[in-house]
Amino acid sequence: MQKWPLLGLLCTLSGIVAAQVITVSDELNLKTEFLYDILGRIGDNLLVVRDGVNEFDVIAYNDKMSTTWTAEEELDSRRSRIISIVPHDDKFHVIYSDEWRDTMAIKVREYNAKVNVTFTDTLVLIKKGLIRPKFRYVKSEDRNIFLMTEIDNEKIVSAFAYDLSRHVLLWEANFEFAEANFREDYRKTLISNDGTMYVVFEKDNFRYKKDDHTMEIFRFDQFNTAFTQTSIPLSEFITYDAFFKYDNLNEQLLIIGLYSDKNTGNTDGLYHISLNANNLSDFRIATLSYDEELVSDFHGKYNPKKESLYNLDVQDLILREDGGVLVLAEENKEYERLAYGGRRDYYGSNRFSVDYYYEDLVLISIHQDGTSHWQKLLPKRQYSNDDEAAYSSYFLFKNPSYLRILYNDEIRNDNTVSEYIMNGAGDITRRSLMSTDNQKLKLQIKNAVQIGSNELIVPSVRGKRLKLVRLQY
């Protein structure tokens, strides 16, 4: 366990003056570099799960980030597979599958903070054919509702919603989307805190079909035997990207993305759709263009011939208390190239290398009516090669008073971590937060977990060695 002060000890935004401390955990060997889950603080300890095939280990860390105890758990059989692990304040749930003969069971175990089983349940039983069923899952914002959809021939054919907190199967249903083209039109499945499912399709998102361009929303809950549906016309533009979020406080579905007027490779502004969850025919569509200052900052200088932005993806929506929303988009691109010398691998195939670029962040604050509040660009430059961009991008740390955007300045072993700090008025400052020089750390910033209003855990993965870095503001 190590502890050292950060480079910058003063926060100049909003008059906040505070010291920060970083604590590094003991090293943990991983079975593979991707199979771990940081559950956060459960009870008195920080828990981390190291996944296996049909088993998992739980490692507990104390406030000094030292390992205090470990627990080993096996699932029902060798054919059991972990689907998802869902943490809560004083417990966690493991949802997994098990198989025998022609049947697949989806099960859940509830564990307390000491990794003792406190509840088990079989959620559904599914008959298997010659092909093993495929599934997708999603959790509600409060992590109490677990939705699982069965996929057959790339279509959703059935689904169920289970309440983890009350140990109740809310509903189970079979579906038939007669006219839906899942391969071309499917966009997103969401679940609300009360167990209502929304499935979103987008049709005719082509310039030559723009007059017929629509978003199709399907709604299903435990009180209905069939979908309710609405069609939202979008004939004024084609979409470039979209982010879907259910607002549980205001009971509305938000679809916010980027649109294009001229070239599908560029984006000319944002579109904002808000839909009343209790009345699907009640929706509002708004668009806004990028202001000159944002376009100028993005391109480095103002050019009246350059009014579009490019290589942007919407990564986050932060809901404001007044009904507005903050949109965070990131510039990123990938380039695949033939490896040096054009050599072939063992099987005679050409070897390709992938370059990852994760660059500027675009922040746009939108009023409740869909009009622009302010727009800003936050410079960032990250480049890596053949690493699946595991160390690129950013983490958004949320606090009632401010937001922090943490990121690696460069993707290398010895690196500086920086952050942008923003208050509610949109005032932003940047500072260097910490250095990893000679610390044998390689931080996966985007996989960080916030465990309190002033505390987060950042994983450091070098090969198959995991360390946890706790940052306290």
DSSP H or E run through 266: strand 266-267
Reply yes or no on whether the pLDDT at 63 is more than 70: yes
- 430: Cβ contacts below 8 Å, ≥ 6 apart: 378, 418, 419, 420, 421
- DSSP letters, 122-169, are EEEEEE--SS--EEEEEE-TTS-EEEEEEEETTEEEEEEEEETTTTEE
Residue-wise pLDDT for 200-219, tens only, equals 999 999 988 989 999 999 99
Residue-wise pLDDT for 151-207, tens only, equals 988 889 999 999 999 999 999 999 888 778 898 999 999 999 999 999 999 999 998
- Block residue for tokens 């310039």: 207
Token duo for residue 288: 């806004």
- 273: Cβ contacts below 8 Å, ≥ 6 apart: 215, 232, 254, 255, 256, 283, 284, 285
CA distance 457 to 455: 7
CA distance 240 to 128: 38
User: What per-residue confidence (pLDDT) applies to 51?
Assistant: 83
Which of the pair, 224 or 151, is modelled with greater confidence?
Answer: 151
pTM: 0.89
For range 229-242, the mean pLDDT: 93
- Block residue for tokens 């280990």: 57
Reply yes or no on whether the pLDDT at 440 is more than 50: yes
Reply yes or no on whether the pLDDT at 99 is more than 60: yes
Reply yes or no on whether the pLDDT at 7 is more than 70: no
- Beta partners for 318? 326
CA dist 214 to 183, 205, 234, Å? 16, 8, 5
Q: Which of 166, 118, 125, 117 is nearest to 146 (CA)?
A: 166
- % of the chain at pLDDT higher than 90: 70
DSSP H or E run through 459: strand 455-462
User: What per-residue confidence (pLDDT) applies to 451?
Assistant: 95
User: What per-residue confidence (pLDDT) applies to 424?
Assistant: 78
Give residue 338's pLDDT band: very low, low, confident or very high (50, 70, 90). Answer: confident
CA distance 394 to 443: 11
237 in Cβ contact with 210 (< 8 Å): yes
Token duo for residue 78: 């060798």
- Block residue for tokens 């289970």: 162
Give residue 351's pLDDT band: very low, low, confident or very high (50, 70, 90). Answer: low
User: What per-residue confidence (pLDDT) applies to 16?
Assistant: 40
Q: Which of 95, 84, 145 is nearest to 122 (CA)?
A: 95
- Beta partners for 375? 364
